[in-house]
Amino acid sequence: MPQPPVTRRDALRGLAVVAAGLAAACDAAPVPPEAVVPLADLAAGRRVRVLVGGKPVEVVSDAGAIHARYLVCTHMGCLVTWHEDRERYVCACHDGLFTRSGRPVGGPATEPLVEVPFTLEAGEVVFRRPGGA
């Protein structure tokens, strides 16, 4: 006996079921972290550098709060480094200056250093790619 033809509605329903199954499978799979910093490594104001999205990030505990920011100047994208003696981040290219919190206070930059989102998981600072990609 011949099978009835597949209607457009039947095909769309089938595709919706497959898409829902794929979405559920993707949501269930854990996303591996891109970088991890144990909280113990941040003791006594120690600064830890990691790569997130291919860019250098500094993680520091300051007054009990964890901060993570890209070490990239917001003026032209040059690297900045923390200078303890000056209590400033200093841009290697144009001598831009940023405060401990990343706010610009000298040089050509007008925007603060960009904060990097993270989560605290089981005693670690965890960085994941946006969207889990």
Segments making up each domain of the chain, as ranges: 35-132
* CB burial of residue 124 (10 Å; 0-12, 13-18, 19+): middle
Residue indicated by tokens 């891109």: 34
82 phi and psi angles, rounded to 5 deg: -80, 130
Q: Is the pTM of this model over 0.75?
A: no
Check residue 32 and give its pLDDT: 79
Tokens matching residue 24: 């559920």
User: Beta partners for 85?
Assistant: none
pLDDT average, residue stretch 104-125 = 96
Sheet holding 65-70, edge to edge: 47-52, 55-62, 65-70
pLDDT recorded at residue 20: 57
pLDDT digits (tens, 9 = 90+) for 36-82: 999 999 987 799 999 999 999 999 998 889 999 999 999 999 999 99
Residue 29: which pLDDT band, with cuts at 50, 70 and 90? low
> Cα 47 to the chain's mean position, in Å?
17
Task: Write the class of the CATH domain 35-132.
Answer: mainly beta
Per residue in 32-47, pLDDT (tens digit) is 789 999 999 998 779 9
Query: DSSP code of 92?
Result: T
Whole-number pLDDT of residue 30: 64
User: What is residue 78's DSSP assignment?
Assistant: -
